[in-house]
Amino acid sequence: MADGTSPVGLGIDIGGSGIKGAPVDLDTGEFTSDRLKILTPVPATPAAVAAVVAEIAAAFPGHAGPGCPVGVAFPGVVKHGVARSAAHVAPSWVGVDTERLLAEVTGQRVHVLNDADAAAVAEHRYGAAQEAEGVVLMTTLGTGIGTALLVGGRLVPNTELGHVEIDGHDAETRAASSIRKQEGLSYRDWAEGRLQRYYSVMEDLLSPDLIVVGGGVSRKADRFLPHLRLRTPIVAARLRNTAGIAGAAITAAERLGRDGG
């Protein structure tokens, strides 16, 4: 928990099933108050989701004041504040100036970024990639494959490397965690038959110095990572479900300033 002197930012993570937020100690990445989670509305239209974001921001009045930027992790490509794709939320998000919409409903300064990008920033600042130099590839294995790329600690935003075509297939349609379950693959067979091929291609394309594996399945990393044979060190994410919130908060603070500047 924060000691009251550390800078604090508010992070909110928009997911397909839940929207979660908490104030974050920007020095440690720890939450300074219990996380609030509200179910994602159905359908997850811009107006409906924005109302939930506003409710979460209003729940932390001591942290979301005029000088506190709000960071929001969004499940899609975000360019200059505008959603250019949308996963697990309504397609009507595409083309919406998401930063403007959320700033209007919260009354705060808002920075929006892709959810995998937010998680990568948090892992680099506080988690498994904290000591890493050079090129870091983060992948989130879930319904699909989300990716984020850091070069020298700087984010290369909106990579969609889960959709690289490998052997005639969109990569995530063969290697996502959901496919393992759908096809009844053991963790070993999934690792050796699907993940090995995917990560080998990523190695050849990017020559990363570290690969970080996130997503809910990372809790069981010991069941599949040991079966991979890569040149690159590959490790499980540490922050798991807190990464999106923490990464959004720290990115907003750095982009917008912590005191209204």
pLDDT tens per residue across span 48-57: 999 999 999 9
pLDDT digits (tens, 9 = 90+) for 95-135: 999 999 999 999 999 999 999 999 999 999 999 999 899 99
Please give, one letter per residue, the 3-state secondary structure of 46-70. Answer: HHHHHHHHHHHHHCCCCCCCCCCCE
At residue 105, the pLDDT reads: 96
Burial label, 241 (beta-carbon count in 10 A; 0-12, 13-18, 19+): middle
**Pair 138, 166 in one domain:** yes
Q: Do 98 and 26 fall within a single domain?
A: yes
Residue 2 included in any domain: no
d(CA 110, CA 197): 39
Are both 77 and 41 inside the same structural domain?
Answer: yes
Give the pLDDT confidence score for residue 194 in this predicted structure: 98
In-domain check, residue 123: no
Per-residue pLDDT, 240: 84
| pLDDT (0 to 100) of residue 4 | 55
Indicate whether 109 belongs to any domain.
yes
Domain shared by 112 and 20, yes or no: yes
Residues 64 and 112 in one domain: yes
**Residue 225 forms part of a structural domain:** yes
Instruction: Say yes or no: 92 and 148 in one domain.
Output: no
> What whole-number distance in Å separates Cα of residue 86 and Cα of residue 73?
12
Q: How far apart are CA 9 and CA 19, in angstroms?
A: 17
Domains contained in the chain, number:
2
Same domain, 158 and 180: yes
- Domain coverage including residue 88: 8-117+242-256
Low-confidence ranges of the chain (pLDDT < 70): 1-5, 63-67, 258-261
Residue 257: its pLDDT value, please?
Answer: 75
pLDDT at 1: 42
**Local structure of 114: helix, strand or coil:** strand
Q: Tell me the DSSP string of 11-41.
A: EEEE-SSEEEEEEEETTT--BSS--EEEEPP
